[in-house]
Structure 1
Amino acid sequence: MKGRTIPAAVAAVLAAGLTALTGCSSDGPGGSDSTGGSGGGSPAALLALPADLDAEAVAGGKQPAFEPSDVHLAVGRTFGMDVRVAPLQHGWRLVDPGDTALLRRDADSKQSTCAPNTAGCGHTVRQSWTATAAGSTTLTWRYVDLASCKDAQDPASCRTLADKEVRITVG
């Protein structure tokens, strides 16, 4: 198999706030609740972290850093971030959960899985927050070198390869 390339459309998908899932089958909740509330349905705003190959290209200086994303929510609405979790040396970790007075962290939900014994395949987890008060805050994820972590439970102790910020305005 020749080297994979990530289409430029990925950036457009992120900017549009749509989900970009890769390579695995879905067996997640897929609810049809369009209210964007905290009832387990679709969030009012949904993004996906950049693909591993994109993050590695940023880390290697082969493409520009990831631009911050802006999300606007009404109180009571939810924001979701799809994070691909794969058995790789590098991975995305939430390092700044934002202002907890404005956003309540909801339970994570598995959005996809891999067939058993599939080498290198990961799954997608949706991290979700519900807006609880008006204001602005920023959530930050880092694409880190997991082998460099001084404390496995603290992503801030790992070597950072790339960052992704999401600026959330509630009101």
Structure 2
Amino acid sequence: MRSGTRARTVRTAVVAVSAVAALAAGPVTLTGCSSSGPGGSGGGPPAALLALPADLDAEAVAGGKQAAFEPSDVHLAVGRTVGMDVRVAPLPHGWRLVDEGDTALLRRDADSRQSTCPPKTAGCGHTVRQSWTATATGSTTLTWRYVDSATCTEPQNPASCRTLASKEVRVTVG
């Protein structure tokens, strides 16, 4: 491996770890550079990688024991990718994407499983990475809600469920 490639990979990993740690604590700003290589739409790691707050933190927000989650800010160059790791568990409460932002600025990429559970394991969840690639300059917001699935009036529409907490990621492309 060339040393330049390794340096970009290490920087991407450090940004990802820092973003995951900072996301629950408050706003975080990440910048994706415009060079080719990892972090573009070519299947490498995203230029910006975030994770939704843990279910226990969302439950604390819902119970009034913790302040609401602050929005996060991500800055990307056109052609770069932002990824959000979402924990999916067979529970009555969970994170659901309710607003994919402006599709003229961000193209939704295929979701990818980051972890799995052994078959027939009660209560076991997995992590799914939702990704978007910046296609034009501008700003938009992605919104997730931590919802009570038992209250949904339309089973396939998370916006019809009681919201317990929410998380916004403001994406600026340019």
Instruction: Pick the TM interval, shorter chain.
Output: 0.7 to 0.9
1:103-156: CA deviation from partner (whole Å, max 9, x where unpaired): 000000000011233221100000000000000000000000000000111111
Secondary structure at 2:84's aligned position in 1? Answer: strand
Q: RMSD of aligned C-alpha atoms?
A: 2.1
Partner of 2:114: 111
Contact 1:17/1:45, CA 8 A, preserved across alignment: no
The alpha-carbon deviation at position 59 of structure 1 amounts to 0.3
Secondary structure at 2:39's aligned position in 1? Answer: coil
The answer for unaligned runs of 5 or more in structure 1 is 1-8, 19-32
Contact 1:83/1:124, CA 8 A, preserved across alignment: yes
Please, what TM-score do these two structures have when normalized by structure 2?
0.80
1:39 to 39, 42, 56: 42
Secondary structure at 1:113's aligned position in 2? Answer: coil
Once residues 12 and 64 of structure 1 are traced to their aligned partners in structure 2, the CA distance between those partners, rounded to angstroms, is 17
C-alpha spacing 1:79/1:142, structure 2 compared with 1 (3 Å): same
Once residues 61 and 92 of structure 2 are traced to their aligned partners in structure 1, the CA distance between those partners, rounded to angstroms, is 16
Once residues 29 and 117 of structure 2 are traced to their aligned partners in structure 1, the CA distance between those partners, rounded to angstroms, is 24
Partner of 2:143: 140
Once residues 151 and 42 of structure 2 are traced to their aligned partners in structure 1, the CA distance between those partners, rounded to angstroms, is 38
Partner of 2:12: none
Contact 1:135/1:170, CA 8 A, preserved across alignment: yes
Secondary structure at 1:87's aligned position in 2? Answer: coil
Partner of 1:161: 164
| Off by >3 Å, runs of 4+ in structure 1 | 9-13, 15-18
- Residue 87, structure 1, aligned to residue 90, structure 2: yes
Secondary structure at 1:119's aligned position in 2? Answer: coil
Secondary structure at 2:94's aligned position in 1? Answer: strand
2:59 to 36, 56, 60: 56
Partner of 1:29: none
Q: How many residues align?
A: 149
The alpha-carbon deviation at position 12 of structure 1 amounts to 3.6
Contact 1:17/1:47, CA 8 A, preserved across alignment: no
When you count helix as a share of all residues, which structure comes out higher? Answer: 2
Once residues 10 and 100 of structure 1 are traced to their aligned partners in structure 2, the CA distance between those partners, rounded to angstroms, is 24
Identity %: 82
